Every structure is written in C-alpha cells, then in structure tokens.
A and B are shown apart, each in its own frame.
Chain A
Amino acid sequence: MPDQSPISSVNDFVVRFANVNGSGSASANELFARSILRHGVPVSPRNIFPSNIQGLPTWYEVRVTEAGHLGARGGVDMMVAMNPQTWDKDVASIEPGGYLFYDSTKPMPSSKFRSDITVIGVPLTAITNSTYTDPRQRQLFKNIIYLGALCALLDMDPKLIEQLIGEQYKTKEKLLSSNVHALHLGRDWALQNLKCPIGLQVKKSDKVGDRIFMEGNSAAALGAVYGGATVCAWYPITPSSSVAEAFTSHCKKLRHDPKTGKAKYAIVQGEDELASIGIVIGASWNGARAFTATSGPGISLMTEFIGLSYFAEIPAVIMNIQRAGPSTGMPTRTQQCDIIACAYASHGDTKHVLLFPEDPAEAFEFAAQSFDLADRLQTTIFLMLDLDIGMNHRLCRPLKWDDGRQYDRGKVMTAAMLDEPGRDFGRYLDVDGDGIPYRTYPGTHPTKGSFFTRGTSRDRYARYSEEGAIYADNMQRLVRKFETAQDLVPRPLQANAAKPTKYGVIYFGSTAPAMDEAIGLLEARGHQLDRMRIRAFPFHSSVASFIADHDFVYVVEQNRDAQLRQLIVNENGIDPVRLVPILHYDGTPITARFIANAIGDHQDHLKVTPLRKAVS
C-alpha cells in the first residue's frame, strides 16, 4: 500500500502513455481517448513526440475532463510506462498518490518504484507472447492488451471500445475480431488478478454533445477545400506537412469531377519553400485560389516572395503551423513564435494580415475566410496555427457551412467591365478610396487591361517609375489598404469578469482553452480579469480601447520575446508599462496552472504594494 492515499477522481484526471516511437502505440492510445469521448466525457489528448521516426521516446497524454478543460493541465495521475528508456523520469513525474501501470513480465528492483504511488503490474509481454508468435503482431496487440487492462482498471464500458474498433475495421473482419480478442485478453487478466476499479474512474456522462474530435491541420485543409483553393504547393516540414496531406485526402474524396473523374485541384510538392510560395503567387496572379503550408524555417525562406506579394499586390494564403524556433529549434514542440516574423515579413516597409484561430473549428472557418481576404485585399494572409492546435485531436464545435455563401473574389475587372465607356483601368489606381485597386486576370481582353506585374516601383498604371512622389503615393495607398483590412478580419472577442475590475488579459490562438480554465482558477484566488482574445492582425480599434479601459493588461503568449505585446505596443502606440507579459516558451503547451500562477502571483504582489509605488 502506498504511504499516500491514492488519488480518487471520477472523470477528471490525466493519463500519460510513455512509449517508444514507431511501436504502433499511437493508434491504441488514440482509441483510448476516443473511447472516453464515447462515454460522453470530454478529453484533451496531446502527442509529445521527438523529431524521429523510430526508437526515441514519445508520450501521449490524455486529460479526462468532465468540466471540459481542453488545455494541457500539467502533472500526471496515471503513467502507463511502456518505455524503459524514460522509466526513471516517467515514474518521478507521477503526482503523489498517483498510479503507475507497467509491464511486470520481468521483475524490477524495488528501488525503481516510489512508495507514495500505487503500482499496477500487468505481465503484458508474457500474455502477448503466449498468444501471438508473429513479432509484429506481438508489438501491436500488446498495445491493445494494455488498453484492455485500463478498461477494467478505470471501469470503462468495453462495449464502447468494441464499437470503435468495429468502426475502424468496418471492412476488415479479421482485424476487427483479433483486436477485440486482444482487448478482452487484457481486460480479463486485470479483472481476475487486480483490484478493479482503481481510484481513477470513467463514468458515463453527457458533456460531449455534438462536438467533433479533429486535428487543426486537417480542419485548416478542409477549410481550404471549402474556401475554393485549387492550387496547393508545399514542401514537407514538421508540423505542417499534415496540412497538405489532409488537403490531398479531402480533395480525393470531395473534388473529383463525378463524370470524368478528373481533379478540380492541383497539388505540387515543391523542391523547397521558395518554389512553393512562387507557385502559389503565380497561380493567384492568374486567378486561382492557392495556398501553401509551412512552419518557421519555411517562412524565413519565403520572405522575399512575401514582399513581392505585398508590393505587387498578389493574393496568397500561407498557413504557418508554428513550432519552437529559432533556426531548427525544437521541430516537434509548440510555440507562438513567428508573430513578428510574419507580421513584418520581408525587406522594406511591409505589413501582413495574420489570423489566429483558437481550435480546429476556427482553423476551418479562418482557412476558408483567408481566401476571401487574400482576394479582397490582394496580399498575403497568414493563418497562424501552431503544433498544439495543428497536430493534436481537439474537441471542438461541429464545422458549419452556409450554402448561400459566395466567394468574395475581390476587385477583378472583367472584359465586359473593361469595355464600358469611360472605364479607366489602372492596376494601382485607388478608385474607391479603400486603398484596394482593381486587377485583371491574364487573358481577359484582347486589347485592354493587360499590365506588367513587377516588384519594382511603378505608377498607378503599372508603368515603371523611380520618381519619389510616385513611390510614396503607392506606399501610402498600401497603408490605406491595411487600414481597410482592420475591419475585414475577424474581430477580437471580449468577455468581462463577473465583477468590475481594473485588470484585463489579452491572449490568442492555442492559449485559449488554458486561459478559459485559468480564469476560474484566478477567480478562486480572488482575482477578477476582463479578457480579450485577439483573432487577427491588423488589430481592431477595440484592442486599444480595451487596454485604455484597464489599469494594465496581461498579454499571455507562448514565446520568449512577448511578440504579440511588441506588435500591440508598436502598432497602437501603447505605453509598454501597461502591458504585462506572461510568457511560456519551453515548447510544451501552456497550462491553466502556469497562467493562474503567473498572473495570480503578480496580482498578489500588487495587493501588498500599490501600483504607483511599484512602478516609480
């Protein structure tokens, strides 16, 4: 018996699986997460994986959360320790009173355990080897056997897992029955040999509703399908590759001409990121909707083209699935570290539109919208995801599409328009005062509307010019255009604290679920915060007024240099003292505990020393 009373919790705990990369554990672990969802209990799973194909340690963490807290929690209540390499660290990370599940086939010295946790040994290798002879089967079914044991230990309904296996192997009867068999091997062994259930339990609930369980990258790719993207050019880079792969598989199902079977899309794996963005810009220039997906190093490579897109005014959509930088950084760890790099990408005076979805549902919506924005604004639109949203399954509201919605192709002059009497076409002529000129697609009209696109300075009629006044006129129009963008991009969402407060918090993107949960933790500590979730750059005017309405505002982000805060200070002329950075940047997803501690400690400090004294 452990010298600490075992944790007892229903539908609120964290299980972490420690596996070896490439051992086939991923699908069993995902099955575990999904089966809890089928109990009507929300889960928030996260892959913690190395930049490696086989052999290195990998973890899969499932937060079981009836309350629906979808951010990472921190801490582990039950460790499924399947990797000897990381054993010591894994055992050490278990919360006092927690549980250790391990393969007990080979005896372990007692020094390898802790006295304050419950140790659950199941001879997985022995059970597997006595049942299967094929080495590959042994490896794969071992994963399903531990799933079966967990089913008994956590008091899960095996029928729900069987149902999921049935859906997965609908057409493969042999795989179906063998998986179900393995599941019961593990479950039966646990029921016969262990005290089941333990303190951690899953009970049926109804907190999932109609929500869906999806990865952000797949959702963004689906948004591109719905948004009318026809050209995708990309270069493999973690954690963005699954965007292009998902776009490919969505298109295969949704975008073939029913009569001819031909593709209504073109996907090219470029030779590098330069070619990928070049293809996107060429296609967009020629009137197709095109996008690329990449991550930090790819953004660095694309910057020359991004400047061209800004200056020559060519639509482009870039999905940046951020990972920890700089340089190669931590390719499989999450961060929000490319805010400045994207907002001001390229040499010279440039500014770009950024969208910050919080989850897969918003990634879908913003991805579709980004093509309208790119066409309307004739410039690059960045869809800023990160690894945490992109590569993890996230519970989110169902995707929605309004069938009456039309694509906004922006200001495109047609042959008929060019023929209208008195019509004056100047490619860079600001006819409407919104800074957005008309463009024509190549091949539109035999004698009218052609122009020469260039990255060099030119006048309103696209004629080459190095005249200072002409150059400045164009640069000023681009500023007007960026101001127009402010009201076209998704607005920030604001939520006020239960009681009036002098303090606010600004956050964005994947921080959202942790922030929502942190608000509750802070309230419990007696701290009230109004909050604003920024969803796009350029910032809507409400951002400046939100800051003005509070004594000061915390800016929570996942990078070292407080990049969003820098951008707010720079673009809105805010006194930096009014924005307190709360920064998490170790590559793990930000947690509610972290935010609540950082803000709570700062607030507690304020209670001791009045603000006036602290700053003076």
Chain B
Amino acid sequence: MTYIAKPKFHHPGLKKNDLGYTHRDYEGKISTLCAGCGHDSITASIIEACFELSIEPHRVAKISGIGCSSKTPDYFLGNSHGFNSVHGRMPSVLTGANLANRDLIYLGVSGDGDSASIGFGQFAHSIRRGVNMTYIVENNGVYGLTKGQFSATADRGSKSKKGVMNTDNAIDLVAIALQLGASFVARSFSGDKTQLVPLIAAAIRHKGASFIDVISPCIAFNNHAGSTKSFDYVREHNDAVNRLDVLTGRDPITVDYSPGTVQVVEQHDGTRLALRKIDADYDASDRLAAMTFLQKHAAKGQVVTGLLYVDPDAEDLHTHLDTVETPLNKLEAEDLCPGSAALEKINASLR
C-alpha cells in the first residue's frame, strides 16, 4: 500500500554507482499491484537500468496514463516527478513536458489498453513526431483494473479467464512503431530481466522515439492455459534475436564475443550497443527487414524479442522544431517578451 512507508534502512555494503547512489535511491513506494505481477519485474528492471546508467533520479520525468501499468511510476524513482495523467493520453502529456524542458529524461509508462485502444492515436502520433522519450508498454493483453476484459493486443483465438474466445485481430504495437518511424524498437518479456535491463538502458540513452513492448503476464486475469500472454506461453514461444550489452564511457569492448556474432552500434551520446546475435541473419539496422521478420514469425506464433531496430543517427522533435538549446521553461521575460518598442511598430503597421 502506498501509505505504508518503506523502511529507510539499508545494508551498508550495498553496491554504489558512479554517482554514489545505491539501488535504494532509485526505488519508489511499495507496489500495490498483485503479488507476482509482471509489471513489478519491469519496475525492478527500470530501477536497475537507471542505477547502472548512473542517472540522477530527479532528472527523470516519469509519465503514465491510467491502468495497472500506469500506476507503476509511483513504485520507482521516488525522487523524480511523476504524472499519472489521463487514460490513453500519456503520449501528449509527455510530448508537452518534453517541449518545455529538453534536458530531462522522459520515461513514458503505459499499458496495452492505454496505448493500443483508447490511446492508440496518441501512441502513433508521439512516435511519428520523434519525441525524445523511452516509451514502455507493459503488455498483458488484458484490462486488469476492470477485471479481465480483452485488450486490443490480445491475440485472435486466445481465451479469456472466463473461457471466452477473442475473435478480433490483435494490434502489434512493435510492428506499428516500426512503420511509424520509431528510431529504437524493442520487445522483451518481464520474466527476462537480463534481456530487459540493457534494452531499457539503451532506450534511455537513445535520442529519439524509443519504444519497448514488454510482454508482462497478468497473474490475476491472463495467466491461464489458452492465453498467449501467460508466463508459460511466452517462455515457450519467445524467439530472441539478440542479446544486448550497453557500453557507456570509453572503455574498450572487453566482452569476449565470437567473431562475426556481434553488431556494435554507436549512439549519439557515445553509448555503444553491442548486439550479440542469436539469429545470425537478423540485422537490427534494417527497418524493412525487421518488419518482414516480425510478420513471418508472428504467423508462426512466435514472440520475437530483442532490440529489433535502432537508428543511431535519429533526430528528435526539438531538432525538427529547431528550438533553442536552453529549455523553454528556463526562458525569462527578457528572452520572450518583444517589449513596447516592437509593439509600437506593430501598431504602426495596423493603421
């Protein structure tokens, strides 16, 4: 319960990052989600990724919509400002926040109801505008807070807990994000933290619209036989195309990779992404191939995971709008107000 305070006590030997922060500095309030919820694992992965990147927690703005997933920003980065906004409208709120201050890190947390149904339009438009953000969908295929209705990402033919068959086609947000020009696209599984943590870290360091679809089973309403978003189903059908290591700083790549199996991508800020290929043919820099690959594997019932596409030279919305480097919320009257002399000229032109 959020009103139960977490104990401040922590082990003196806790690992510290470059800023001297421990994991505890990246935690939030105690989760109110069901015990075993996949979303809590994603929360843990976000905490881990921010810790590893040595991000100052207060320099992150965490924004969400409405739903189980959208509650989670309260459970991590307690020293960050959070905004649990309106159902399906996280993308617009995040876009506005980002326009106001380009210097913060924007973490958008949403669910499949929030992003694939009520907020499908906002999801699409924030991606196509190239807002510099990390957009995470905690995808369980079901409406949890309202007790088990299908969401738009539920696969056709999958069964609800009550035994109802879903006859509508599923929306694959990853496929849509690729089509709309997202410059960083990944899919992962809440039960695979080793895969997920570096993906979140790389997405945060990516300049542009980063989208991660995380399959996150709903322990209460969508973890039964016949569901295609259950722990068992996703484990059995998970088809990871690569494993990612995020390398910050100037350290040489010391990880021992077999030759020809690693694709190294350097992002704008100097972060290097070492992609260990699992599927030798998969090329994460080819958008069209990624789309085809996804479709082919989806037809076979496989859930393709990993870093599916990255464009390290992406531009963001601020580049397109050519805004000043100073965050807009730091501009003062002297920067913004043209003054009375300019107004006199305008008056003169209107006579």
- List residues of A whose CB falls within 8 A of some B CB: 37, 208, 210-214, 222, 225-226, 228, 230-231, 233, 254-255, 257, 260-268, 270-272, 274-288, 290, 304-305, 308, 398-403, 405-407, 440-447, 450-456, 463-465
Report B-chain residues with C-beta under 8 Å of the C-beta of A208.
351
The answer to whether B323 touches A262, judged by C-beta atoms less than 8 angstroms apart, is yes
Beyond A231-B100, A286-B96, A455-B85, is A463–B350 a contact (Cβ under 8 Å)?
no
Report A-chain residues with C-beta under 8 Å of the C-beta of B81.
440-443, 450-453
Beyond A264-B331, A266-B323, A278-B86, is A400–B125 a contact (Cβ under 8 Å)?
no
The answer to whether A278 touches B85, judged by C-beta atoms less than 8 angstroms apart, is yes
Report A-chain residues with C-beta under 8 Å of the C-beta of B83.
282, 285, 452-454
Chain B residue at minimal CB-CB distance from A440? B81
Beyond A264-B335, A453-B82, is A274–B343 a contact (Cβ under 8 Å)?
no
The answer to whether B336 touches A443, judged by C-beta atoms less than 8 angstroms apart, is no
Chain A residue at minimal CB-CB distance from B119? A274
Chain B residue at minimal CB-CB distance from A288? B100
Offer 12 A-B interface pairs, CB within 8 angstroms, sorted by A: A228-B331, A228-B333, A262-B324, A263-B322, A266-B99, A271-B121, A276-B92, A288-B329, A290-B96, A442-B61, A453-B81, A464-B2
**CA gap between A277 and B339 in the complex, in Å:** 28
Stretch at the interface among B71-79, B164-172, B175-183: B71-79
Report B-chain residues with C-beta under 8 Å of the C-beta of A400.
340, 343
Please classify the interface of chain B as helix (H, G, I), strand (E, B), loop, or mixed, using the class held by over half of its residues.
helix
CB-contact partner of B58 in A228, A263, A276, A446, under 8 A: A446
The answer to whether A233 touches B58, judged by C-beta atoms less than 8 angstroms apart, is no
Min CB–CB distance B4 → chain A (angstroms): 11
Does B264 count as interface, using CB distance less than 8 angstroms?
no
Min CB–CB distance B268 → chain A (angstroms): 18
Report A-chain residues with C-beta under 8 Å of the C-beta of B351.
37, 208, 210-213
- Which 8 residue pairs across A and B have the least CB separation, nearest first? A282-B96, A278-B92, A288-B100, A442-B81, A287-B329, A279-B96, A286-B100, A283-B96
**CA gap between A255 and B94 in the complex, in Å:** 24
How many interface residues does B have (CB within 8 Å)?
A: 62
CB neighbors of A among B85-124 (8 A):
85-86, 89, 91-101, 103-104, 121-122, 124
The answer to whether B103 touches A228, judged by C-beta atoms less than 8 angstroms apart, is no
Min CB–CB distance A369 → chain B (angstroms): 13
**CA gap between A398 and B350 in the complex, in Å:** 9
Does B321 count as interface, using CB distance less than 8 angstroms?
yes
Min CB–CB distance B319 → chain A (angstroms): 11
Does B59 count as interface, using CB distance less than 8 angstroms?
yes
Does B255 count as interface, using CB distance less than 8 angstroms?
no
CB-contact partner of B84 in A222, A445, A455, under 8 A: A455
Chain B residue at minimal CB-CB distance from A229? B336
Min CB–CB distance B96 → chain A (angstroms): 3
Chain A proximity mask over B48-74: 1 for CB below 8 Å, otherwise 0: 000000001111010100000000011
The answer to whether A463 touches B324, judged by C-beta atoms less than 8 angstroms apart, is no
The answer to whether B323 touches A401, judged by C-beta atoms less than 8 angstroms apart, is no
CB-contact partner of A444 in B58, B78, B336, B337, under 8 A: B58
The answer to whether B336 touches A228, judged by C-beta atoms less than 8 angstroms apart, is yes
The answer to whether A268 touches B101, judged by C-beta atoms less than 8 angstroms apart, is no
CB-contact partner of A268 in B61, B95, B124, under 8 A: B95
**CA gap between A99 and B255 in the complex, in Å:** 92
Report A-chain residues with C-beta under 8 Å of the C-beta of B85.
278, 281-282, 308, 453, 455
Min CB–CB distance B8 → chain A (angstroms): 12
The answer to whether A278 touches B95, judged by C-beta atoms less than 8 angstroms apart, is yes
Report B-chain residues with C-beta under 8 Å of the C-beta of A399.
343, 346-347
Does B325 count as interface, using CB distance less than 8 angstroms?
yes
Min CB–CB distance A248 → chain B (angstroms): 11
Chain B residue at minimal CB-CB distance from A456? B84
Q: 13 new A-B pairs (CB below 8 Å) besides A264-B335, A282-B92, A452-B74?
A: A210-B347, A211-B351, A228-B333, A264-B331, A271-B124, A274-B89, A276-B92, A278-B96, A288-B328, A305-B86, A441-B329, A444-B58, A450-B82
